[in-house]
């Protein structure tokens, strides 16, 4: 048996020595764990900069003006909702979005068009657009039960009852159309331009949202206009960094800011935070490949420095974490809109003329809506605009200001940024329409399944609104998922 000398000459067996060595190793490991759990993720207790670097995006607790925790949203989104959305939004119905990118800015002369090649929107081929979206509805009849059972369209014809009075003039018809359009517009929170001359289909998969290099005075003017020109009269607060936040968090928590104003501010701030996260997560790192040649597609990836610049307490006057929380707030508002309109959305055909994929989309949408409805802590929109006659004025002001923001999107100098800005604002506006138009209210739940039919004009959403609603929610969902990835990188 081999031996070793102890300090006092005692003979120690190799077994005892090995046990002593394992004790020392375990003790050192325990100290390491204690240091890890008490001082944070790979920084020393005295290293305040490293601590702030991680903590500013590690959100906890209740989301303002909601009864939901950040952890609940993270779990539901990252585990249940985000994977479903990611597979759904690549389908033809949701990937082709009709929009007018040629409209002139209504507020100032737009002389600052982005000249970078990545600002350009890639046009989709005509042959790739689904036939049902181009007006070819010949295959649509397969969906109609009436057509499947009808054998002779004239066999039940009553000439007297079927008589159509065509004496109404074309001028009167045009006036009726104007009245109908006006009535519908009263429920809208944003501009819809898919029916205008110049509107074209864009393949969103060919034009992902990412940082294109669009920056400078033109980009700053967009956000400063959104924030400063859409303040409510009672709170025209001016900031050192005016396009970064409408109202400082400290002022937001004061009682003089009413719920409706807080909701408006937090939704716009949440949208801004979401867009910033997309730009940081999909950043143009280089126009050259690893071999040094100019790349036709560019090199894209996460930019940690840019993420810190946009959200860290040092660069945002300690507001960055609150902006990130507003992302969760905007997410919950749109999540609630989808849940509220779920009976209507289940009855949509999601028609593109490609029968197999259309069936798959309908199944996937119903599955997603089931998950959304099971969310335990939905935003409660019923507490808003409930103050009698004064609330009507606040609601109209709320709607007009959001409508104005949708017009500002036509002033964005980068075409690709304009595309995604218009889509996300329209999606958020559609969510507000669902929540506050009164046409989707829960007091109709007893007969909701039969009332909320896509062919019922009272509750009709245009295809562009549905596409924008799902894609805008998908952008917020992606931001929350990417925020967790940024946390992992910082650890």
Is residue 258 a contact partner of residue 65, using CB atoms and an 8 Å limit? Answer: no
Backbone angles phi, psi at 62, to 5 degrees: -80, 145
Is 66 considered catalytic here?
no
Tell which residue, 464, 485, 389, has the closest CA to residue 196: 464
β-pair type (283-288, 3-5): unpaired
Please check if 210 is assigned to a binding site: yes
Q: Shortest CA distance to 334 belongs to which of 491, 480, 451, 236?
A: 480
Q: Is 362 annotated as a binding residue?
A: no
In the three-class reduction of DSSP (H, G, I as helix; E, B as strand; rest coil), residue 202 is classed as strand
* H-only helix segments in 210-319: 217-228, 249-252, 259-281, 304-311, 313-316
The Cα 491–Cα 485 span in angstroms is 10
Query: Does 417 qualify as catalytic in the annotation?
Result: yes
Nearest CA-CA partner of 401 in 184, 193, 255, 227? 227
Close Cβ partners of 417 (under 8 Å, ≥ 6 residues apart): 114, 119, 212, 214, 219
272 has binding-site annotation: yes
Burial class (CB within 10 angstroms; exposed 0-12, middle 13-18, buried 19+) of 31: exposed
Total number of residues shown for the chain: 491
Q: Can you spell out the DSSP letters for 54-99? A: HHTT---SBPTTSS-BHHHHHHIIIIIIHHHHHHHTTSHHHHEEEE
Among residues 68, 190, 411, 417, the one annotated as catalytic is 417
212 is in an annotated binding site: yes
Q: 234 labelled as ligand-binding?
A: no
**3 state SS of 301:** strand
Cα 85 to Cα 369: distance, rounded to the nearest angstrom: 11
Supply the residues annotated as catalytic: 414, 417
Which residues are annotated as part of the binding site for FAD? 210, 212, 223, 269, 272, 310
């Amino acid at each position: 048996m081999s031996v070793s000398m102890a300090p006092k000459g005692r003979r120690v067996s190799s077994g005892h020595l090995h046990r002593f060595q394992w004790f020392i190793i375990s003790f050192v490991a325990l100290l390491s764990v204690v240091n890890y759990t008490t001082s944070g993720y790979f920084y020393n207790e005295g290293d305040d900069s490293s601590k702030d670097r991680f903590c500013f995006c590690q959100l906890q607790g209740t989301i303002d003006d909601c009864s939901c925790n950040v952890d609940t949203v993270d779990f539901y989104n990252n585990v249940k909702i985000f994977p479903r959305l990611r597979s759904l939004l690549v389908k033809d119905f949701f990937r082709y979005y009709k929009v007018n990118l040629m409209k002139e800015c209504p507020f100032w002369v737009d002389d600052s068009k982005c000249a970078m090649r990545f600002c350009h929107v890639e046009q989709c081929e005509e042959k790739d657009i689904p036939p049902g979206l181009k007006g070819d509805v010949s295959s649509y009849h397969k969906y109609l039960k009436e057509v499947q059972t009808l054998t002779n369209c004239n066999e039940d014809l009553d000439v007297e009852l079927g008589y159509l009075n065509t004496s109404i003039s074309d001028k009167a018809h045009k006036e009726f159309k104007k009245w109908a359009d006006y009535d519908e517009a009263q429920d809208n929170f944003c501009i819809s331009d898919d029916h205008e001359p110049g509107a074209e289909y864009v393949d969103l998969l060919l034009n992902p949202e990412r940082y294109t290099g669009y920056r400078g005075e033109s980009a700053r003017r967009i956000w400063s206009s959104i924030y400063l020109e859409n303040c409510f009269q009672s709170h025209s607060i001016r900031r050192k960094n005016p396009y970064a936040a409408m109202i400082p968090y400290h002022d937001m928590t004061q009682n003089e800011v009413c719920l409706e104003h807080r909701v408006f501010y937090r939704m716009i701030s949440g949208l801004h935070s979401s867009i910033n996260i997309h730009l940081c997560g999909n950043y143009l790192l280089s126009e050259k490949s690893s071999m040094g040649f100019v790349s036709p597609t560019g090199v894209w990836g996460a930019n940690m420095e840019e993420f810190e610049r946009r959200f860290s307490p040092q660069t945002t006057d300690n507001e960055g974490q609150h902006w990130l929380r507003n992302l969760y707030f905007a997410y919950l508002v749109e999540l609630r809109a989808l849940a509220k309109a779920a009976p209507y959305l289940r009855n949509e055909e999601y028609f593109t003329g490609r029968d197999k994929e259309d069936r798959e989309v309908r199944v996937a949408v119903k599955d997603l809506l089931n998950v959304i409805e099971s969310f335990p802590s939905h935003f409660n929109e019923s507490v808003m605009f409930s103050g009698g006659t004064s609330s009507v004025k606040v609601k109209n002001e709320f709607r007009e200001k959001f409508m104005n923001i949708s017009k500002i999107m036509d002033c964005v100098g980068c075409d690709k940024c304009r595309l995604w800005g218009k889509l996300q604002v329209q999606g958020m506006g559609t969510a507000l329409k669902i929540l506050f138009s009164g046409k989707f209210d829960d007091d109709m739940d007893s007969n909701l399944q039969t009332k909320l039919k896509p062919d019922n004009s009272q509750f009709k959403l245009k295809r562009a609104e549905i596409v924008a609603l799902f894609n805008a929610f998908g952008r917020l969902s992606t931001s929350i998922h990417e925020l967790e990835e940024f946390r992992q990188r910082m650890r």
